Amino acid sequence: MTRALAVAAVLLGIAHAAFAVEPSEMLANPALEARAEAIGKQLRCQVCQNESIEESGADLAHDLRVIIRERLKEGDSDAQAIKYVTDRYGDFVLLKPPVEPATYLLWFSPFVILAVGAAGAWLYLRRRPAPPDEPLDLNQRRQLERLLLDDQ
Amino acid sequence: MIIELGHFALILALAVALLQAGLTLTGAARNDLNLMAAGRLAAMAQFALIALAFATLVHAYFVSDFSVANVAENSSSAKPLLYKLTSVWGNHEGSMVLWVLILAVYGAAVAWFGDAMPPRLCARVLGVKALIAIGFLLFILLTSNPFLRLSPAPEEGMGLNPILQDPGLAFHPPFLYLGYVGNSVAFAFAVAALIDGRVDAAWARWVRPWTLASWCCLTLGIAMGSWWAYYTLGWGGWWFWDPVENASLMPWLAGTALLHSAIVVERRDTLKSWTILLAILTFSLSLVGTFLVRSGVLTSVHAFAHDPRRGIFILVLLCIAIGGSLALYAWRAPTLEPGGVFAPISREGALLLNNLILASCCATVFIGTLYPLFLDAVGGPKLSVGYPFFDRTFVPLMIPLLLAVGIGPLLAWKRGDVLGALQRLWAAFAAVIAAMLIAFYLSHGGPVLSVLGIGIAAWVGGAAMVELADRLRLFRAPWAEVARRALAQPRASYGMTLAHFGLAVTVAGIAASGFEQQSIALLHLGQTLPVAGYMLRFDGIGKHEGVNFTADRGDFTLLDGTRVVAQLAPERRFFPLQQQTVSKTAIHTNLLADFYLALGDPDDKGGWAVRAYWKPLVPFIWIGGVIMAFGGAVSLSDRRWRVGVAARRAAKGALPVDGSRV
């Protein structure tokens, strides 16, 4: 337990001790820097929870930010720079999971669920029969019988 | 000695919970009023015992008794008193005790107001709640006991994680748990109704106050957590689609759907089976959330527990609770009689659409949160599901809901008239166009999506106002008539207007995030930095001593031309005990926009990294949340739903039909 807490504290420390994008990392060319930021926002800091490398203060995120900026300075396109990172760290670093057979279920299920739900609601509304007439209770039945008898 | 008393009280609470389950469920089955009354007493006794156990733990933290392992691991003597006390739930074991305490609070409240309910319904609700309490008390006593001693006792504790030492986060867990655990009441009512085989308008009236109360708390809890992230993390993000955040969002979405479908059950006696299912799912999602956070299955900022035994224990509890209730549902739901019929275009139809979309959104969050885990389990590739996924799924699903929320309240029950409603909404259309033009002008043609988002917010807010004006016959009837109508409106309808208006405010805050401007630079003393038309001047830097930290504090002046707008003093706090640095941001707000400043690292030549942001409308995100919760509270104060009224009326005969709309 103690060890686990220490591990958690270290992880938290990594995530928050430092700062996100440092002025010293930033590129002089504003167009290039804007591209780097846009790329960085799509890449996940592996030691943080769903924070992008642009936002994270972790050392690892710093390293990746520097790598991205170096690749862009070398003349890489955005796609090439991202590929450079995914080749080394895998698709795990992509905050937007790729659309591929393994993720079809992920990407399409929200809309499939909505469509199935809508179809279900539609059928429910269409097939609902009109509410049945209230059957007569015992007293009413007796009353009816009496009326019929009276008629006879 | 005192802590042992607490330990003993918790064991006794388990025994009482067992007794409570036996008494209430047997009593209800045999229709034995004495057994059922004893069961209600047991629920109050259970609460008293857990409250005692919790109080002993609070005491141990208060006096910094480091011979208690839980205190030694999570507190320290040099710490502000507030954080000594909030440390009680700043760790796994203590937060579980808070969890069962809140469960017992709701149980005792149901028992307290029980006179108003049919005794068998009350007994079965308390029986189901006792079963849940048994599971979680066993969990605490067997795997997460905070009452264990440490021998020899250390001189000093390990301290509370510095990022938890914050007023926002101190009160975030209690509110979140009041929301999570409050859903157990609706769940217990649903299970009781399934056992009973009867769901009617009176049932919906008993369920609604509890659902509303927990929904308000959950709304506030989520808002607090998000606000905390905003001012703590140093760059102003307020939602990360982090699994732990998602764990709280899912029960909120399902609970919101439940609130709306319960209206249909109450007013029109239909959608009963679906409402029961939602009540079960809402609490099940609360349990899933507890599992995700507490098992450590997803490592995250919030997950303190890293012991698989706990994960498996909660998983078993989860399977019993969810599996059992769903099996009961599958068995009993078909016996529920269908109620009134309605056309697709009607108030009921609009509420059904609300449920359909909220349920789809909830499923989307569920899938997005658990997919990486699922893929990993079946041997697929490791991947992350971050904000781009939710931007492309959750947001498009939400938009039709936001458009419909404007129209729904204007439709009549049974059969509505969309064209007529749209005609009455001309003022809302005007508000949309005006808001979008203003947003476009002020942002100098800013991002199209943000301008559209502002338009949607204006639509939701404008429509809420139009609906209110319509109900009061504002501008169409003499003022005396309007005033009379305003007084006669049920509070619940004001609650709805407020909640929908709050939603609009939150949507505006979220949409405006596209307009924010940032400046990041290395500043030397005396230098200025331009941000969004303002000037930020770096005046000085100094050391500052806190109770348990030392800080570098920067002095900055925000200038508009030559006028001083604000003095800002962001800090970098170093906590020696934990060897951790935490950024304390400085925020200047006028409630319409925030100026957000964070201090970074120094370089070795006297320069300091500074991040400054101008964030228009960002306070609206949380103001809207507070308005929503306030709307819920206003609705809760409606006398028609005050716990007990329904029963007294039901006892007199059928529920009265009142002409007022909800």
How close does chain B come to A124, measured CA to CA in Å?
10
Q: Render pLDDT for B186-239 as a digit per residue (tens, 0 to 9).
A: 999 999 999 988 888 888 888 999 999 999 999 999 999 999 889 887 778 889
Cβ–Cβ under 8 Å, residues B436 and B458:
yes
Query: Is residue B566 assigned to a domain?
Result: yes
Q: Please give the residue of chain A at the shortest CA–CA distance from B356.
A: A117
Tell me if B505 is assigned to some domain: yes
Give me the helix-helix angle, B387-407 and A104-127, nearest 10°. Answer: 20
Asked if A121 and B364 count as a contact pair (C-beta separation under 8 A), the reply is no
Q: Are residues B509 and B524 in the same domain?
A: no
**Model pLDDT, residue B466:** 95
Interface contact A110-B360, CB threshold 8 A: yes
Domain membership flag for residue B389: no
pLDDT at B382: 83
Residues B533 and B544 in one domain: yes
| Residues in A touching B278 (Cβ below 8 Å) | none
B471 shares its domain with B527: no
B407/chain A closest Cα distance in angstroms: 19
Whether B504 maps to a domain, the answer reads yes
Of A12, A118, A125, nearest to B301 by CB-CB distance is A12
Instruction: Report the alpha-carbon distance of residue B525 to residue B556 in Å, rounded.
Output: 10
Measure the CA angle with vertex B141, ends B137 and B143; round to 5°: 110
Whether residue B300 is contained in a domain is answered as: no
Does B371 contact A103 at a Cβ distance shorter than 8 Å?
yes
Same domain, B585 and B610: yes
| Residues in A touching B304 (Cβ below 8 Å) | 5, 8
Quick check: A22 and B609 CB within 8 A? Answer: yes
B539 and B601 part of one domain: yes
- Determine the residue among A42, A50, A85, A100 to mutate to test chain B binding: the one whose Cβ has the most chain B Cβ atoms within 10 Å: A50
Cβ neighbours of B368 in A, within 8 Å = 106
In chain A, the domains with their CATH numbers are 2-93 (1.10.8.640), 101-151 (no CATH)
- Domains contained in chain B, number: 2
At residue B652 the predicted structure's pLDDT band, cuts being 50, 70 and 90, is very low
Residue B650 lies in a domain: no
With respect to residue B249, please indicate whether it lies within any of the assigned structural domains. Answer: no
Task: Mark yes or no for CB contact A113/B300 under 8 Å.
Answer: no
Q: Are residues B612 and B559 in the same domain?
A: yes
% helix / strand / coil in chain A, to the nearest 5? 65, 5, 30
Listed residue (B192, B209, B100) closest to B491, CA to CA: B209
According to DSSP, residue A149 is labeled H
pLDDT digits (tens, 9 = 90+) for B117-175: 899 999 999 999 999 999 999 999 999 899 999 888 888 888 887 777 888 778 888 99
Alpha-carbon gap, residue B242 to B298, rounded angstroms = 10
Torsion of CA B39, B44, B50, B56, to 10 degrees: -140
Same domain? For B613 and B595 the reply is yes
Residue contact B371–A55, C-beta within 8 A? no
B539/B497 same-domain check = no
In angstroms, rounded to a whole number, what is the distance separating the alpha carbons of residues B83 and B98? 16
Q: Is B340 helix (H, G, I), strand (E, B) or coil?
A: coil
Query: Which pTM does this prediction carry?
Result: 0.89
B570: containing domain: 517-617
- H-type alpha helices, B378-425: 387-407, 418-424
Query: Does B574 lie in the same domain as B552?
Result: yes
The string of pLDDT tens digits covering residues A54-65 is 888 778 888 889
**Contact criterion met (CB < 8 Å) for A23 and B389:** no
Distance, in Å, from the CA atom of B206 to the CA atom of B169, rounded to the nearest integer, reads 32
Kindly report, residue by residue over B360-417, the tens digit of the pLDDT: 999 999 999 999 888 888 888 888 899 999 999 999 999 999 999 999 999 988 888 8
Same domain, B536 and B483: no
Clarify whether residues B557 and B501 are in a common domain: no
pLDDT tens-digit readout, B163-199: 778 887 788 889 999 999 999 999 999 999 999 888 8
Partner residue opposite B384 with nearest CB, options A22, A94, A128: A94
* Closest-approach residue (CA) in chain B for A16: B582
pLDDT of residue B651: 47
Q: Would you place residue B92 in the very low, low, confident or very high pLDDT band (cuts 50, 70, 90)?
A: confident
Q: Cβ of A42 and B388 within 8 Å?
A: yes
Flag residues of chain A having pLDDT under 50: 1-18, 130-133
Q: Give a yes or no: residue B7 inside a domain.
A: no
Task: State which residue of chain B sits closest to A19, comparing Cα positions.
Answer: B600
